[in-house]
Structure 1
Amino acid sequence: MGNILTLARDSLTSLVSRMGTERDKASTVFYTQPVLTDDQIVAAYRGSWLPRKIIDIPALDSCRKWRDWQADDKVIELIEKEEKRLNIKGKILEASKKGRLFGGAALYIGTSDEDPLQPLAPEKVGKAGIKHLTVLTRRQLKAGAIDRDPESEWFNKPENYYLTGLNGKQLIIHPSRLVLFNGAMAPDDDISGMSQGWGESILTATLDAIKNADSTAGNIASLIFEAKIDIIKVPGFTENIGNKEYENAILQRYTLANTIKGINGTLILDAEEEYESKSAQLSGLTDIMMAFMQIVSGAADIPVTRLLGQSPAGMNATGTSDMKNYHDRIQSIQELELTPAMARLDECIIRSATGARDEAIYYEWAPLEQMSEKEKADIFKTKSDAARALIGSASGQEIITREALSDALVNTFTEDGSLPGLDGFIGEYGKLSEQEPSEAEIIAAATPTKIN
């Protein structure tokens, strides 16, 4: 007979610690597909402050400083006026919040001049061409078939979206007419089939951490009411339970005792009764609660100082590093998510505001971190000193001409807000170099005048 190979699986099992059994608390974690219904999403957002802040804070911080248009002053005024008319900032904020909450929302660009099924051509939008902007969620806007053409701009995205309007009439909208906000990325909609052309709610991956924190807070709150328990040992109590007269007498007896104690702090008991008071230890509860809040903070990618609105704790703690990392994250959202999503809308806004498209017009997102007046003054002084050094650093030979350096400084001081309106005043009064005497005038002034 051939040799028989026997495989044995050995594992450590302890009935005392339950290690290796089905009740092992350190057993392997198995991940399953999370399912979060719209009702659960709405209930979490309405019923708990943590989900609401996790949804709202990044969206609010992405929009609160907004953006700075770079163009001629009159053009900037027209664009900002058009943004105010359409409430661009408010609409983007609303769509961003709802996209994060439901996993999908869109801003419909209403031009009222073409069939919404046709692609939107920004170059055809004239002055005041944008009539309205409408925020829609994925619950109202159904995604159509996925475009599988790799040559298409909309590859792996819905070809069209369907909106059911008044009287059940269905409106088909081309994706170019929508500014899309998809919440969290769906890993693979081909496998799950649940996203249906949209993303996932931000709460899907964070809800367990949120519920653990909320449960811990609830248990701590219950423990507070049980922090002090009075225990009174009554002789014959067990034997007499069930006697209605005895129960009433006991209730009246200790109601009176508590009343007397509440008035003067004195508890009157029979000589045979025993009294003791037990208090729960609450010293470590704050650390436990904050540990759960830090887990929520990590899950939401929002610093505890921003999530809770409190100053950082601990020796030499400032929270500066955490907030800087958070601001970098918000800047990434602005540049990598909002800017591409709003690209076609921005082209329409410029044309709707000015009636044309000047390629020199662009914008930059305003920084979230604001410098103090002293920091601004120090930077202004540093730049000014550097300019003086550049002019006089080559023993009389200029590395950069005064005119070029002057123009660069005017542009710098205007854009960073050090000297607002400087470019306009120079256009009105002229440059300092233009007011200085020319070399010929200096020589003529230095030459003595001959008197005949």
Structure 2
Amino acid sequence: MPRLRPPQPVSTVAIPETARGATKRTLQKAIHAETATAKLIQTSDSFQNFAAKVGIGTDNQSSGSTYGFNPISRNRGLLEWMYRGSWICGKVVDCPADDMTRAGIEMSGDIDPDDLDILHQGFNQLAIWPGINSTAKWGRLYGGAIGVMLIDGQDPSKPLRPDKVEKGSFKGLLVLDRWMVQPNYSELVTELGPDLGKPKFYETVVEGFAIPRMKIHYSRCLRIDGVDLPFWQRITENLYGMSVLERLYDRLVAFDSTTQGAAQLVYKAHLRTLSVENLRNIIVAGGKALDGLTGSIEMMRRYQSNEGVTLIDAKDKFETHQYAFTGLDEVLLAFGQQLSGAADIPLVRLFGQSPAGLNSTGDSDIRNYYDGINQQQELHLRRPLTTLLLVLATSLGIKLPDGWGFKFNPLWQMSDKDKAEIADKVSTAVDRVEGAGIISPKTALKELKQSSRVTGIFSNVTDEEIEAASAASNDPPDPAGMGDGEPANGDNPAAAEAVEEVSGQQRGVDVSADA
């Protein structure tokens, strides 16, 4: 049946902007007359059956449903109780943050391997990955957090210039959640770019605990929000996002209520009943009769516990009843699946539970989840990590070459077989180019040692062995300056094939959080 609705408050009679006086009043009267005489019009934009009361708007229970406003992101105490008191809330907050920072990055470009080792050590010594991890966690829990780059000798209220960082002045990250800093709303970023409209400065509001009062320029911050919000909702949250727990609140309550209810049923798994003649009269009479009944039951309970004997009167009747828990596991699983979908974390990661079904391993779910984590890394970590690497390199006295870059290492771990195959291919390629005279033995050993970060093989190659190989060999011949009778690489099939094999490889190192 088509749905009836009143006409839209848009008239076909328009009032020109130039209308004045009587003309304007005449047009207004025409509009009012048109609206008053308008009739209901039929629409067919949804299914409704008024006779059966089926469909939204047909006076049924579903028509009374709506969505409420429960902004728990503003309740810091509740969020902290949920994080501390519920393991599910803890995993929802922690798992994506841990996975975003677990595998680290791999840098690319014409960077000296020794410089890459120094950068790798700098990440570990300054606890860069733990700082990013905490920033992501508190951003997800509270709706927003910043990691401030601590640079000794610089005013934090001034814009960051990575090329002006003094050697050894970068001291790591200071993590501040949204309740520890106050954005300055009077000064927003007005420069065109991805930071347009965001706070230009943050002021710390926590005194003591070694955290000074300071004004921080946004260019010095690694900012991670929880759930991005539309403009007006972002205004209500002090220009931050929303806690990831806010959307899950109803599913969390449903899951915990179901789990706790099932746990309470365990106490009723073994029910016992005792039928006593004239029990109602004994209870009504009270006094010695009721005291005697109570004592008799207490004596029966005591002997059941100690001797396993049930003492009852010949006219009494004692029975046991077993409670069936059939279907409870399916209910719990259904709520768990809803929670997993709401958190966007697969069951195998959130609950450590493998999916049911024939030949189901959960690999596809994990791979899809890892793809989502990689998307989060690109959205939230790519830009700030680029700035952070420039600051770290300058502080360590390293000049990064033009065209340098990095990529996030995949979370999917290779098997021992995969690592062995990659090590075999790398060693074969290195051996061929070294045998063709394209690289020196020293460079070949460096390449093998560098590949150990991925494969775990050749990790025992020492710097002394590399230097010894350099001293025991001559520099590789210049292919363009070979003597008569010796073909250049273009005419040397072995050399040309070796160059072709390694030409697409990028030299880099795994700047890993777990190294």
- Equivalent position of 1:316 in the other structure: 359
Given that residues 141 and 245 in structure 2 are in contact (C-alpha distance below 8 angstroms), is that contact kept between their aligned partners in structure 1? yes
Matches within 5 A, 1:436-451: none
1:89–1:7 CA distance, 2 compared to 1 (3 A): closer
Secondary structure at the residue paired with 1:229? strand
What is the letter of the counterpart of residue 289 of structure 1? Answer: L
**Could you report, residue by residue, the CA deviation over 1:204-235 in whole angstroms, capped at 9, with x for unpaired residues?**
11121111111100000001111221111212
Shift of 1:251: 1.6
**Could you report, residue by residue, the CA deviation over 1:67-101 in whole angstroms, capped at 9, with x for unpaired residues?**
23443221012212222232111111111111111
CA distance in 2, matches of 1:296, 1:61: 19
Which residues of structure 2 form unaligned runs of 5+?
Answer: 1-36, 43-47, 488-515
Shift of 1:113: 2.5
CA distance in 2, matches of 1:433, 1:127: 36
| Range with bigger deviation, 255-264 or 237-246 | 255-264
- Equivalent position of 2:19 in the other structure: none
CA distance in 1, matches of 2:402, 2:269: 69
Shift of 1:64: 1.8
**Could you report, residue by residue, the CA deviation over 1:241-300 in whole angstroms, capped at 9, with x for unpaired residues?**
140322221121112222333345443322322233222211221121111111111111
Secondary structure at the residue paired with 2:413? coil
Aligned counterpart in structure 2 of residue 158 of structure 1, from 174, 199, 213: 199
- Equivalent position of 2:4 in the other structure: none
1:169–1:88 CA distance, 2 compared to 1 (3 A): closer
- Please say if 1:149 is aligned against 2:190: yes
1:270–1:117 CA distance, 2 compared to 1 (3 A): same
CA distance in 1, matches of 2:484, 2:420: 34
Secondary structure at the residue paired with 2:335? helix
- Could you tell me the TM-score, scaled by structure 1's length? 0.80
What is the letter of the counterpart of residue 96 of structure 2? Answer: P
- Please say if 1:201 is aligned against 2:228: no
**Could you report, residue by residue, the CA deviation over 1:36-87 in whole angstroms, capped at 9, with x for unpaired residues?**
0111101111111100111011111111222234432210122122222321
- Equivalent position of 2:493 in the other structure: none
1:128–1:150 CA distance, 2 compared to 1 (3 A): closer
Would you say how many aligned residue pairs link Structure 1 and Structure 2?
A: 421
What is the letter of the counterpart of residue 147 of structure 2? Answer: L
Secondary structure at the residue paired with 1:297? helix
- Please say if 1:122 is aligned against 2:165: no
Given that residues 180 and 206 in structure 2 are in contact (C-alpha distance below 8 angstroms), is that contact kept between their aligned partners in structure 1? no
- Equivalent position of 2:22 in the other structure: none
State, as a whole percentage, how many aligned pairs show the same letter: 27
CA distance in 2, matches of 1:134, 1:21: 56
Secondary structure at the residue paired with 2:406? strand
Secondary structure at the residue paired with 1:354? coil
RMSD of aligned Cα (Å): 4.0
Given that residues 63 and 89 in structure 1 are in contact (C-alpha distance below 8 angstroms), is that contact kept between their aligned partners in structure 2? yes
Given that residues 162 and 173 in structure 1 are in contact (C-alpha distance below 8 angstroms), is that contact kept between their aligned partners in structure 2? yes
- Equivalent position of 2:291 in the other structure: 248
Shift of 1:151: 2.5
| Range with bigger deviation, 131-140 or 213-222 | 131-140
**Could you report, residue by residue, the CA deviation over 1:337-357 in whole angstroms, capped at 9, with x for unpaired residues?**
112232222210111122533
Aligned counterpart in structure 2 of residue 39 of structure 1, from 62, 74, 77: 77
| Range with bigger deviation, 364-373 or 410-419 | 410-419
- Equivalent position of 1:446 in the other structure: none
Given that residues 92 and 343 in structure 2 are in contact (C-alpha distance below 8 angstroms), is that contact kept between their aligned partners in structure 1? yes
- Could you tell me the TM-score, scaled by structure 2's length? 0.71
CA distance in 2, matches of 1:313, 1:116: 54
Given that residues 142 and 161 in structure 1 are in contact (C-alpha distance below 8 angstroms), is that contact kept between their aligned partners in structure 2? yes
- Equivalent position of 1:79 in the other structure: 119
What is the letter of the counterpart of residue 258 of structure 1? Answer: R
Which residues of structure 1 form unaligned runs of 5+?
Answer: 392-401, 443-452
Given that residues 189 and 200 in structure 2 are in contact (C-alpha distance below 8 angstroms), is that contact kept between their aligned partners in structure 1? no
Secondary structure at the residue paired with 2:149? strand
